[in-house]
Homo-oligomer: A and B are copies of this chain.
Amino acid sequence: MSTHPAKPSMRDSLVAAAFQLFLERGYEQTTVDDIVKTAGVGRRSFFRYFPSKEDVVFPDHEQCLADMTEFLAASADTDDPMARVCDAARLVMRMYAENPTFSVQRYRLTREVAGLRTYELSVVWRYEKTLGDYLRSRFADRRDGTLRANVVAAAVVAAHNHALRHWLRSGGEGDPLAEVDRALEFVRDTWRPDGAAAETPAEEAEDVVVVITKRSTPMWRVVREVESSLGEG
């Protein structure tokens, strides 16, 4: 029995070696041969884990896509599809948040290397497609179901990426999960089930009070509601 701490897997070692070299000498200047030499493994080991040098930059997306697909497949028909896709998007943010240093390093790398930007776009597209596939099946009864599914999936991805980019640009400061919650809340508010409009936009809670009332509500009840919302009641 060994008393050593858990050894990193060969896959982890390859990722670590690759990023060490990317940061030291640049992505373009690093070859797969350099990576395997630094990691102390054979060239074939690299390609067992990663089809190309680009793939080692995004080692967790395949697993995360698989997790997202599984999570959505496990949905019940009674689940609110909007809540479900927002939770699915949170899985991605959680992956980034688990390793802020790595996420920020990678972000800087993708800013510099056009090929990685493109690779990232194709990953983002696969997330969007996964969300869209789920929504298309959930919205199948709606006349505008396919269109709605595509637009909502794009909106969820855009909101997620808005929060993600903001966090990465800040160098990984703050709570990315709180940021993504705020951004996804905007999407939730945009498409309330059955047109039940935004009741209290979270991001404006400090400044404004929103009161929604039926036209038939007596005036005294409206006033009381406003007063209690303002904390004056």
* Chain A interface (Cβ < 8 Å from any Cβ of B): 117-119, 121-122, 125, 143-144, 146-148, 150-151, 153-155, 157-159, 161-162, 183, 186-187, 189-191, 195, 197-201, 203-204, 206-215, 219, 222-223, 226-227, 230, 232
Contacts and interface: CB of A to CB of B under 8 A. Distances in A.
Nearest to A161: B150
Given A121-B122, A198-B190, A201-B198, A154 B158 contact: yes
Interface residues of chain A: helix, strand, loop or mixed (majority)? helix
A212 B198 CA distance: 11
Q: Report copies per complex.
A: 2
A204 B196 CA distance: 9
A208 B199 contact: no
A190 B151 contact: yes
B211 A226 contact: yes
29 contacts: A117-B122, A121-B121, A121-B122, A143-B203, A143-B207, A144-B186, A147-B162, A148-B186, A150-B159, A150-B161, A151-B162, A155-B158, A189-B198, A190-B190, A190-B191, A195-B203, A195-B204, A197-B199, A198-B199, A198-B201, A206-B215, A210-B210, A210-B212, A211-B226, A219-B227, A219-B230, A219-B232, A223-B226, A226-B226
